């Protein structure tokens, strides 16, 4: 059980870091602010989500070792992801809307990449 939880925890955290790296890479590669937002969105839905999942597996492992009060940590991890799911799309939406209000034209195929 220890080995399984440890492995799951590692897989999730490494996966989360991978998605954060890909998201960052995407922000650097994409041509304009709107397409960059798509890449940035990956880091907080999937990147942070998988890292939190990894922490949750680790916490469950600790609980099996007698740290019974750690269920509160699990609750907090879930709450963090819940608030991320509530706030990150609003921030993304606000950025995109600010761009449109400021007159930034969405990049389309055929244009030179900035």
Partner 1 sequence: MLRAFGLGAVLFGFWLALSGHYTPLLLSFGVGSCVLVVYIAHRMDMIDHEGVPFHVVARLFLYLPWLLKEIFVANLEVAKVILDPKLPISPRMVVFHGSQQTDLGRAIYANSITLTPGTITTGVEGQDFQIHALRAADLETDEELAMDRRCTRVEQG
The only residue of 41, 62, 63, 70 in contact with partner 1, by rule CB under 8 A: 41
Q: Is the CB of 2 or the CB of 8 nearer to partner 1?
A: 8
| Nearest-approach distance from CB 3 to partner 1, in angstroms | 25
Q: Is the CB of 2 or the CB of 27 nearer to partner 1?
A: 27
- Quick one: tokens of 113? 């990449």
- Quick one: tokens of 95? 């950025």
| Nearest-approach distance from CB 103 to partner 1, in angstroms | 13
The separation between CA 111 and the C-alpha centre of its own chain, rounded to angstroms, equals: 30
Q: Residue 104: CB partners within 8 Å, gap ≥ 6?
A: 32, 33, 34
The only residue of 7, 14, 64, 72 in contact with partner 1, by rule CB under 8 A: 72
Whether the CB-CB separation of 31 and 114 falls below 8 Å is answered with yes
Instruction: Write out the binding residues for partner 1, residues 78-107 only, by CB under 8 A.
Output: 79, 85-86, 88-90, 92-93, 96-97, 100, 106-107
The only residue of 7, 64, 76, 104 in contact with partner 1, by rule CB under 8 A: 76
CA atoms 72, 14, 95, 90: torsion sign: negative
């Amino acid at each position: 059980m220890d080995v399984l939880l440890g492995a799951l925890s590692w897989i999730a955290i490494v996966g989360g870091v991978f998605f954060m790296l890909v998201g960052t890479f995407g922000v650097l590669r994409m041509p304009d602010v709107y397409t960059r937002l798509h890449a940035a969105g990956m880091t907080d839905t999937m990147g942070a989500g998988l890292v939190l999942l990894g922490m949750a597996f680790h916490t469950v492992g600790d609980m099996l070792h007698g740290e019974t009060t750690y269920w509160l940590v699990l609750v907090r991890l879930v709450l963090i992801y819940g608030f991320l799911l509530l706030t990150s799309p609003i921030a993304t939406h606000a950025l995109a809307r600010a761009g449109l209000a400021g007159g930034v034209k969405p990049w389309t195929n055929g244009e030179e990449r900035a």
